[in-house]
Amino acid sequence: MSRQNGRQLHLNAFLMSVGHHEAAWRLPESDPHAHVDIDYFVELARTAERGKLDSIFFADSPVLMGDPGRRPGGKLEPTVILTAVAVQTSRIGLIATASTSYNDPYNLARRFASVDWVSKGRAGWNIVTTAGADAARNFGLDDTPDHRLRYEKAAEFVEVSTKLWDSWSDDAVIADKTLGIHADAEKVRKIDHHGEFFKIDGPLNVPRSPQGYPLLVQAGSSEDGKDFAARYAEAVFTAQQTLEDALAFYTDLKERTRAVGRDPDSVKILPGIVPVIGDTEQEARALDAELARLISPEYAHRQLAERFDLPLAALDLDSELPADLPSEDEIEGAKSRFTLIVNLARRERLTVRELIARLGGGRGHRTFAGTPVQVADTIEDWFARGAADGFNIMPAVLPSGLERFVDQVVPILQERGLFRTEYTETTLRGHYGLARPVNQFDAAGALVTAR
Amino acid sequence: MSRQNGRQLHLNAFLMSVGHHEAAWRLPESDPHAHVDIDYFVELARTAERGKLDSIFFADSPVLMGDPGRRPGGKLEPTVILTAVAVQTSRIGLIATASTSYNDPYNLARRFASVDWVSKGRAGWNIVTTAGADAARNFGLDDTPDHRLRYEKAAEFVEVSTKLWDSWSDDAVIADKTLGIHADAEKVRKIDHHGEFFKIDGPLNVPRSPQGYPLLVQAGSSEDGKDFAARYAEAVFTAQQTLEDALAFYTDLKERTRAVGRDPDSVKILPGIVPVIGDTEQEARALDAELARLISPEYAHRQLAERFDLPLAALDLDSELPADLPSEDEIEGAKSRFTLIVNLARRERLTVRELIARLGGGRGHRTFAGTPVQVADTIEDWFARGAADGFNIMPAVLPSGLERFVDQVVPILQERGLFRTEYTETTLRGHYGLARPVNQFDAAGALVTAR
């Protein structure tokens, strides 16, 4: 029986080529060419599906991230990965990041609608605004647009996308061969959107997809990010190092959701966890230490200095962080992650070298090294205390980290009645217990009932 | 033995949901929901692969084309279709249209590189500039940019795309786990492109793909289109109604290719043919007539008037075309198709009603109704006379039109020694007998040899 009165956990696997740990590719098990091998990703997805997970997720940015000399550089475009996975799995949900700053709504809305068709209702879109001048410089700009402006544009992007997805009524297609009428043309509408950032006539050139539109996911935890999530997100990925912080975030976001008139249950909050799993606690800690040993400290040192907007010399490896760091307001992008890292270092009085080791695995997400039971315990603990609706599982090393989670942790959660033993639904929204969105034009009784 | 001294035909299947004929969806065999059913497209691709065809092709435009009341409206985004097909086939080449007017080079170059990785070297890009104000109005514009300007932008788009694809040397990835070096960072280059239309720093965030980059295909036959093809295309789809026109086009394009310093053999020219195949000539003609009967003349009439930029009343259904049509210069987009249609109507003295019936099947491509032997004969005839390197097969009705071609026409071509009986290559360029492109930066000995 459930220990949470039947309340069910949601589990997403956040898949990063050979694992979230930056040195994972150097382990003997890792295939250093996996990041361009679609069969590898399909295998990971099948493992997640074997574990009855709600979904898998691929992050993205339209730029070559990091130093390709130091770790596998570049990745396949994630809607391409989702599509290849979609036709070789049947239940697992499929989420990918795409940027509202560097895409056209018409093209992106159409691509996600297409993936939703191909997956028969399993597509999800992680909406990001994309920070960083290097990405901007791949799109004709000199620098990244201002944080607030990016979020305003993102809001309009989502609004116009839902209009495009709703431009076909669900019952628009009649397909009457005798009369030669394929669709009821009045149920296929122009949207004539003339906004601040976008001017789009529509309709979309794809009929409304199985889920209506993809699950909307969000992952920024800045003030702008939380307001955005409250308005639009159905699932939220977040980095939280402590139970207290996670509780505060959960309460805050649910409250903001209620404040904009949405049911707080319609947003599922999933903190990240980087489980380093061993048969014994000692084995788990040994793997953790081995990964830390493989990090190139020069590279991580440079990355950290860039994040703090400091010269390299200002960050002594064997001292704590300097007292005079910039404030979150002065940082452009990844604002909440910046604050999380500073708080972590200060709270635990970590040297820069120690901080680097802590960040190597999860880039700010919570790393937890332990046995399967210990991992299940911490998941249940946060869930029971109301700090999470589920978790974003971020294996440090792949494929073994996912296999261990699926084969060793999931059965414990199932035994405790916290997690499904079989899929009961066929769509991504179904897995998360969310309702299919009503078509805004049909609901408003616009053109359709005006006939 | 070959009747053409071993010269081999190339065959592409141009797949349009339930067939190229606008009324195909009304036939008993047609699934009127096929246009959003990925399993249907995978099945078509497998049929083409069974026939050892070089490739399949999906056309596209980022707009809802035509009247969704009259025929299946909208389609899945074609790189999504290619990806789903890629992982469920092993040899067939995979070509899709994408617009240089309504995409960002960074995103599009990356997506095609990803499809090339996923398909293990079978991706092709049909480069189009996209005519039509309705498409423009989905991207913040009021009208379509000028024809010449679109082609100038397309040229820069292709140039910058090849730079992005070449931004990684083929041997950039070392993957030395012991040293912790993944790539030779000097073989991953910024491109720092500052052009008239695009400013892109790079490098691409995908390593160079199996083919180097996708096969470059082009399909516009205007003067600008032919010049563009001569500079960039490796395969050209073209609509030609008569052998004489096809010969003239072939000779002209090969000459233009030579004139810009390229080997004429490096461009394969494939006229379209809409084969309506029957066991007897009579059966073929009956199917052709049945399809013509199912066309909605009002709709086709309106479309034709729009193409000619005339009021509907100026086009009497039972008269020939009016004498005072606009010239090709005055038409914005689909220029060569406009001229082809006018010439066809004038040459054969067709009434508007007859013209509509002729265009219903192939929208200007050559329709040929006959037995398998007759279809094989006309293909061999054009090929032998030097009017084609192969053909763009455009079944009027799917899946039956493709099945008949593969099962009844291909064996005849194979018997005559004109077409492969087994694949001998694994990549799309391999099938077309084209060489893998050399990396422009390695070839120039730029940064790589400067070490």
Query: A383-397 pLDDT, tens per residue?
Result: 999 999 999 999 999
SS3 B370: strand
Check B182 against A25: CB less than 8 A apart.
yes
Quick one: A185 exposed, middle or buried, by C-beta within 10 A (0-12, 13-18, 19+)? middle
Check A87 against B201: CB less than 8 A apart.
no
pLDDT per residue over A99-143, tens digit each? Answer: 999 999 999 999 999 999 999 999 999 999 998 999 999 999 999
Contact indicator for A45, A88 with CB cutoff of 8 Å = yes
Q: Is A299 a domain residue?
A: no
Mutation to test the B interface, candidates A26, A83, A164, A196, most B Cβ within 10 Å: A83
Q: Would the pLDDT of A231 be above 90? A: yes
CA distance A162 to chain B (A): 15
Query: Phi and psi at residue A71, in whole multiples of 5°?
Result: -155, 160
Q: Which amino acid is at A342?
A: V
Rounded-to-integer distance, Cα B233 and Cα B253, Å: 11
DSSP label at residue A365:
B
Confidence band (pLDDT; 50, 70, 90) for A330? Answer: confident
Contact indicator for A369, A363 with CB cutoff of 8 Å = no
Where residue B263 sits, what CATH number does that domain have?
3.20.20.30
CA distance A80 to chain B (A): 6
| Token code pair at residue B269 | 């020219």
Single out the residue of A215, A32, A183, A45 nearest to residue A113, CA to CA.
A215
Contact indicator for B279, B358 with CB cutoff of 8 Å = no
**Average pLDDT, stretch B60-76?**
92
CA distance A181 to chain B (A): 5
Contact indicator for B130, B101 with CB cutoff of 8 Å = yes
Strand partners, A215: A124
DSSP codes of every residue in A139-154 = TT-SSPPPHHHHHHHH
Check A205 against B63: CB less than 8 A apart.
yes
Question: What is residue A3's predicted lDDT score, i.e. its pLDDT?
Answer: 60
The CB density around residue B48, as the number of other CB atoms within 10 Å, is 28
Residues of A in contact with B32 (CB under 8 A): 173, 175, 177, 182
Mean per-residue pLDDT over chain B, rounded? 92
The CB density around residue A164, as the number of other CB atoms within 10 Å, is 26
Confidence band (pLDDT; 50, 70, 90) for A242? Answer: very high
Residue reference for tokens 């990405």:
A135
Q: Is B351 a domain residue?
A: no
Quick one: B317 exposed, middle or buried, by C-beta within 10 A (0-12, 13-18, 19+)? middle
Residues of A in contact with B104 (CB under 8 A): 102-104, 139
Q: Would the pLDDT of A447 be above 70? A: no
Contact indicator for A212, A437 with CB cutoff of 8 Å = yes
Rounded-to-integer distance, Cα B268 and Cα B238, Å: 11
Residues of B in contact with A133 (CB under 8 A): none
Mutation to test the A interface, candidates B110, B182, B189, B193, most A Cβ within 10 Å: B182
Contact indicator for A185, B74 with CB cutoff of 8 Å = no
Quick one: A306 exposed, middle or buried, by C-beta within 10 A (0-12, 13-18, 19+)? exposed
**Average pLDDT, stretch B67-80?**
93
Rounded-to-integer distance, Cα A168 and Cα A231, Å: 23
Confidence band (pLDDT; 50, 70, 90) for A446? Answer: very low
How many residues in chain A? 451
Rounded-to-integer distance, Cα A276 and Cα A292, Å: 12
Quick one: how far is CA B59 from the chain centroid? 6
Quick one: how far is CA B152 from the chain centroid? 20
Q: Is B325 a domain residue?
A: no
> A312-321, B235-244, B409-418 — which is least confidently predicted?
A312-321
CA distance B26 to chain A (A): 5
Q: Would the pLDDT of A307 be above 90? A: no
Rounded-to-integer distance, Cα B26 and Cα B204, Å: 45
Mean per-residue pLDDT over chain A, rounded? 92
Question: What is residue B1's predicted lDDT score, i.e. its pLDDT?
Answer: 41
Rounded-to-integer distance, Cα A274 and Cα A75, Å: 21
Rounded-to-integer distance, Cα B272 and Cα B255, Å: 21
Question: What is residue A22's predicted lDDT score, i.e. its pLDDT?
Answer: 83
Residues with Cβ within 8 Å of B449's Cβ and at least 6 positions away in sequence, in order, are: none
Domain count, chain B: 1
Question: What is residue A45's predicted lDDT score, i.e. its pLDDT?
Answer: 98
Residues of B in contact with A37 (CB under 8 A): 117
Q: Is B305 a domain residue?
A: no
**Average pLDDT, stretch B439-445?**
79
CA distance A136 to chain B (A): 9
Residues with Cβ within 8 Å of A5's Cβ and at least 6 positions away in sequence, in order, are: none
Question: What is residue B449's predicted lDDT score, i.e. its pLDDT?
Answer: 35
CA distance A272 to chain B (A): 25
Output B177 or A295, whichever has higher pLDDT.
Answer: B177
| Token code pair at residue A252 | 């805050």
Question: What is residue A153's predicted lDDT score, i.e. its pLDDT?
Answer: 97
Q: Would the pLDDT of B87 be above 70? A: yes
Mutation to test the A interface, candidates B30, B36, B178, B208, most A Cβ within 10 Å: B36
pLDDT per residue over B115-153, tens digit each? Answer: 999 999 999 999 999 989 999 999 999 999 898 999 999
Rounded-to-integer distance, Cα A383 and Cα B57, Å: 50
SS3 B256: helix
Mutation to test the B interface, candidates A36, A171, A193, A196, most B Cβ within 10 Å: A36
Q: Is B311 a domain residue?
A: no
User: Could you tell me which chain B residue has the CA closest to the CA of A200?
Assistant: B138
Residues of A in contact with B74 (CB under 8 A): 168, 204-207
Q: Is B60 a domain residue?
A: yes
CA distance A64 to chain B (A): 4
Question: What is residue A101's predicted lDDT score, i.e. its pLDDT?
Answer: 97
| Token code pair at residue B120 | 């293990």
| Token code pair at residue B352 | 């508007």
pLDDT per residue over A397-415, tens digit each? Answer: 999 999 999 999 999 999 9
Confidence band (pLDDT; 50, 70, 90) for A448? Answer: very low
Residues of A in contact with B111 (CB under 8 A): 77, 79-80
Rounded-to-integer distance, Cα A431 and Cα A420, Å: 10
Residues of B in contact with A134 (CB under 8 A): 201
Torsion sign, CA atoms A237, A238, A243, A247: negative
Residue reference for tokens 């700053």:
A101
Single out the residue of B401, B407, B404 nearest to residue B30, CA to CA.
B401
Quick one: how far is CA A47 from the chain centroid? 19
Query: Which of B77, B86, B207 has its CB closest to that of A110?
Result: B77
**CA-based Rg of chain B, rounded to a whole angstrom?**
22
DSSP codes of every residue in B111-142 = HHHHHHHHTTS-EEEEEE----HHHHTTTT-S
Percent of chain B with pLDDT over 90: 75
Single out the residue of A95, A378, A363 nearest to residue A239, CA to CA.
A363
Rounded-to-integer distance, Cα A235 and Cα A408, Å: 26
Check B84 against A79: CB less than 8 A apart.
no
Confidence band (pLDDT; 50, 70, 90) for B364? Answer: confident
The CB density around residue B33, as the number of other CB atoms within 10 Å, is 15
Rounded-to-integer distance, Cα A260 and Cα A258, Å: 5
> A25-29, A300-304, B296-300, B304-308 — which is least confidently predicted?
B296-300
Tell me if ipTM is over 0.90.
yes
Confidence band (pLDDT; 50, 70, 90) for B67? Answer: confident
Rounded-to-integer distance, Cα A213 and Cα A190, Å: 17
Rounded-to-integer distance, Cα B31 and Cα A80, Å: 26
User: Could you tell me which chain A residue has the CA closest to the CA of B204?
Assistant: A64
pLDDT per residue over A331-345, tens digit each? Answer: 777 778 888 889 989
Contact indicator for A443, A434 with CB cutoff of 8 Å = no
Question: What is residue A450's predicted lDDT score, i.e. its pLDDT?
Answer: 33
Domain that residue B401 falls in = 10-282+364-443
